[in-house]
Structure 1
Amino acid sequence: MIINHNLAANNAIRFMNSNSANASKSMQKLSSGLRINSASDDAAGLAISEKMRGQIRGLDQASSNSQDAISLIGTAEGALNETHSILQRMRELSVQAATDTNTATDRSEIQKEVTQLTSEIDRIANTTEFNTKKLLTGSIGVSTTDGANITQLASTADTKAGTLSFTANGTMAKAASGDLVLTAGVTTASAAGTLNITANGKTYNVGFSAGQSMTDIAKNISSVVDGYTATFDAANHKISFTSNVADADQTLTVAEATATTLDGTIDLSSIAANGIDTANAVNGVKSANASGLVSAGSTFSYQGNEVTVTSGNFTGLKFTLAADAGSTTTASVSGKSITVNQSLTFQIGANKDQNLSLAINAMDSQNLGVSAIDVTTQSGANNAIELVNNAIESVSSERSKLGAYQNRLEHTIANLGTSSENLTSSESRIRDVDMAKEMSAFSKNNILAQAAQAMLAQANQQPQQVLQLLR
């Protein structure tokens, strides 16, 4: 029996302190509702939880950003709705002025309204803003200095900001065509055979049976040969071929595999004599005549008078060249420019580079090609109809694009909400405390602390027994 060291009391004190500390931690968790209140509670869990919290808050903010983007797009689209209405009225006035039941005075009065409507298109384009950002001036899209001759401007995410000055002068591409001329009155194949067709470098063999109608043969050709449509013209006794696109260097050759099988009278096996040989049938806007595009280090393709830049800083830029006055075959633009401005970038995700780019092209009268409309003459009013039609198409294209972006962003918001909800659920399982379980632990630790305190009192009474030995 010793008195200097009360080991039982020390043991009771140790357990009492431990149980009291555990009860205190349980009380802290119950008070905050969190399982992790400091790094010491769960170091790894804290790191994971904080990373998840960053993602959750980023997702919630991205959802808010997307809502703001929809509002911006809605502002632009709403303004273009009014531009559409104005252009429809201008078209109506152009049609009205194009008839010679009007006098010069009548057309002059019509021109007054057209002029005011044009000014209103410019006002809408120059003053439509969202959070002081101008939306329809081309400052966040594409604009040109020659809206009369350069139309249907568009760019992609690959198109870098800058100004492209160029001169273009060429022949608009036309559809390649050719006729396989038959004997008058022949409407069916005379014998079974095959047509050997080479279209744009690809070879096709189209078979036919004896007595098969030329109309059916033409339909078979159209379904088999890529890029070409064939029709049978009974009145002019020929099968006519036409390319489906107007593009540069379309080629087509057609001939019988065996002579006089298609037409029992005419030998169509020789291309030089009677078959079709349409090589390099069309031209386009040649690179040699587009000095600015070439000097800018760009290559481009064309279909008809529609030009698409395929390499260089302006990759993805697309525009249409208007025909020369009174011509349907040539297009020329001299010393004009297209300016590509930096598009808007919407952050629609929680992490780097999770964004969406939006460009809105210039929608003023100059870029829509209606700034110089003059309906004071019949010819001017007649031309105005086409110009306004083109402008309506440009606005329609822009509004369709904006509507598509709005729909996309609505899906983005729904996805962000789902992701945030699921990530919050995961973070909660790591960070939040199970109240029922922790209350049980608190009760246990509290009881153990009280028990240890009682045992300490008992241990402190043990040295009193020494006094009995000293009496």
Structure 2
Amino acid sequence: MIINHNLMANNAIRNMNINSGNASKSMQKLSSGLRINNAADDAAGLAISEKMRGQIRGLDQASSNAQDGISLLQTGEGALNETQSILQRMRELAVQSSTDTNTTTDRSQIQKEVNQLAQEIGRIGNTTEFNTQKLLDGSFSGTFQIGANENQNLTVAISDMRSFALGVAGKAELTNTGTYAANAGTVGDTLGDGTYSVADGATAGSYVLKDSSGAVVAKSTDGLTYTTQAADGSAGDDTLVFTQAVTSGSVTVATDASGTTTYKGTAQFTNTGLQAGSYTYEDATKTLKDNNGTIVASSADGITFKGNVNGTSTTVFTATVALTDKDAVNVGGINVSDQSSANSAITTINNALETVSTQRANLGAYQNRLEHTIANLGTSSENLTSSESRIRDVDMAKEMSTFSKNNILAQAAQAMLAQANNQPQQVLQLLR
């Protein structure tokens, strides 16, 4: 019998500590609901489950990305729906203007609506945005991350859906003031107040001005200088000189209350990149700006203007002579002001409708694809979550049984420790 070392008590303490530690671990698992609370619980399982957690969170975020992508595509497609409605109206107007039951005045009114519709197509293309990103001006090309890993993405590009790209923008027009010289000579050849239509002359490259009755009142060989014609058909000697060639449209003559008469005509230039709209020339910077003050084209000489067309610097129009400060350049819609032009416009607008339909179909196909992507991502996330749960989550029933066992063993060890501590008391019997 020994008293310096109570080996039975040491053994009981060791087992009690083990059982108490196991019971503590079981309690931690039961309270957290996790089988793995730290790396010591299952090092390999922790590494695997963390990798799965990364995949699950990535899949969930990819699903959110795909939903945002659908929202973007719906925004663009919704705007194109209105663009298509506008084109249908333009086509209707082109068909209306194609019949010669219309007068020149009728067609001029039709042209005004076509101009406004073309400008609205341009406005829709310039202002349709998603999260501040323009969608329909040809600049959008985006990559949607629709997977949890690198390069699991979808690239979407939307073409330029504005008036010029669709072929329904008209020529660039500049209203410029003419200088009138009334020379002594033929009587009755002075142009009075009113609006005169511009028409092609008898020879190629020549032009005439006609009054409301269709009578020729002035002739020009270049569109810059018009020589008047007397009422009896004889040649007059008064002249009207413009700074830019007036080869179509109309010329207006108006006298104000002070007796000052102004002569204005519309010069037209081939449009190779300007959207339908109104622009102002600023001579100090030699730039052309839209109504928002945005520079759409620039020039070194005020004659040749270059702008960004589909990402490339392109000449958008060339004037006859240099523009002057604050000159207004207007771009209307496709020409429907005469039978031949209106007839050709029908086919052009048909092509524009086909272009918009194709783009809308593409956007719709992308939307359907992303919806399937979201469904697949949800299934993958669910299955991975189930797998991660089997590794990381605790089986509550099984762990409760283990906790109960460890708890009972800890209590038993505590009781045996008490018994072991009583063993040295037997030595006192020998000392009596």
Which TM-score bucket, shorter chain as reference? 0.5 to 0.7
Q: Following TM superposition, by how much is the alpha carbon of 1:42 offset from its aligned partner in structure 2, in angstroms?
A: 0.1
Q: Which residue of 2 aligns with 1:112?
A: 112
Q: Deviations over 1:33-60 (max 9, x none)?
A: 0000000000000000000000000000
Q: Distance in 2 between matches of 1:390 and 1:446?
A: 83
Q: What SS is found at the alignment partner of 1:358?
A: strand
Pairing partner for 2:158 from 360, 367, 378: 360
Q: Following TM superposition, by how much is the alpha carbon of 1:364 offset from its aligned partner in structure 2, in angstroms?
A: 0.4
Q: Distance in 2 between matches of 1:73 and 1:4?
A: 85
Q: Which residue of 2 aligns with 1:44?
A: 44
Given residue 59 of structure 1, which amino acid in structure 2 is its aligned partner?
Answer: L
Given residue 445 of structure 1, which amino acid in structure 2 is its aligned partner?
Answer: N
Is 1:348 the equivalent of 2:146?
yes
Q: Which residue of 2 aligns with 1:75?
A: 75
Within a 5 Å distance, the mapping from 1:14-29 to structure 2 comes to 14-29=14-29
Q: Distance in 2 between matches of 1:111 and 1:387?
A: 15
Q: Distance in 2 between matches of 1:375 and 1:128?
A: 28
TM-score by length of 2: 0.62
Is 1:369 the equivalent of 2:159?
no
Q: Following TM superposition, by how much is the alpha carbon of 1:84 offset from its aligned partner in structure 2, in angstroms?
A: 0.3
Is 1:425 the equivalent of 2:223?
no
Q: Following TM superposition, by how much is the alpha carbon of 1:380 offset from its aligned partner in structure 2, in angstroms?
A: 0.6
Q: Distance in 1 between matches of 2:110 and 2:19?
A: 95
Given residue 365 of structure 1, which amino acid in structure 2 is its aligned partner?
Answer: S
Q: Which residue of 2 aligns with 1:454?
A: 415
Within a 5 Å distance, the mapping from 1:294-313 to structure 2 comes to none
Q: Following TM superposition, by how much is the alpha carbon of 1:388 offset from its aligned partner in structure 2, in angstroms?
A: 0.3
Is 1:414 the equivalent of 2:375?
yes
Q: Following TM superposition, by how much is the alpha carbon of 1:72 offset from its aligned partner in structure 2, in angstroms?
A: 0.1
Q: Distance in 2 between matches of 1:430 and 1:391?
A: 58
Q: Distance in 2 between matches of 1:24 and 1:408?
A: 51
Q: Which residue of 2 aligns with 1:383?
A: 344
Report the RMSD for the aligned CA atoms in angstroms.
0.4
Given residue 27 of structure 2, which amino acid in structure 1 is its aligned partner?
Answer: M
| Off by >4 Å, runs of 4+ in structure 1 | none
Q: Distance in 1 between matches of 2:359 and 2:368?
A: 14
Q: Deviations over 1:241-287 (max 9, x none)?
A: xxxxxxxxxxxxxxxxxxxxxxxxxxxxxxxxxxxxxxxxxxxxxxx
Within a 5 Å distance, the mapping from 1:10-409 to structure 2 comes to 10-140=10-140, 343-372=141-170, 373-409=334-370
Q: What SS is found at the alignment partner of 2:169?
A: coil
User: Number of paired residues?
Assistant: 269
Is 1:442 the equivalent of 2:416?
no
Q: Which has the higher contact order (CA 8 A, sep 6+)?
A: 1
Q: Distance in 2 between matches of 1:84 and 1:136?
A: 13
Q: Following TM superposition, by how much is the alpha carbon of 1:65 offset from its aligned partner in structure 2, in angstroms?
A: 0.2
Q: What SS is found at the alignment partner of 1:346?
A: strand
Given residue 354 of structure 2, which amino acid in structure 1 is its aligned partner?
Answer: E
Q: Following TM superposition, by how much is the alpha carbon of 1:130 offset from its aligned partner in structure 2, in angstroms?
A: 0.1
Q: Distance in 1 between matches of 2:392 and 2:164?
A: 60
Q: Following TM superposition, by how much is the alpha carbon of 1:139 offset from its aligned partner in structure 2, in angstroms?
A: 0.5
Q: What SS is found at the alignment partner of 2:155?
A: strand
TM-score by length of 1: 0.57
Q: What SS is found at the alignment partner of 1:35?
A: coil
Q: Choose between structure 1 and 2: higher strand proportion.
A: 2
Given residue 353 of structure 1, which amino acid in structure 2 is its aligned partner?
Answer: N
Q: Deviations over 1:66-86 (max 9, x none)?
A: 000000000000000000000
Q: Deviations over 1:182-224 (max 9, x none)?
A: xxxxxxxxxxxxxxxxxxxxxxxxxxxxxxxxxxxxxxxxxxx
Larger Rg: 2
Sequence identity (%): 80
Q: Which runs of 5+ in 2 are unaligned?
A: 171-333
Q: Distance in 2 between matches of 1:352 and 1:94?
A: 51
Q: Deviations over 1:369-389 (max 9, x none)?
A: 110211110011011101100
Given residue 40 of structure 1, which amino acid in structure 2 is its aligned partner?
Answer: A
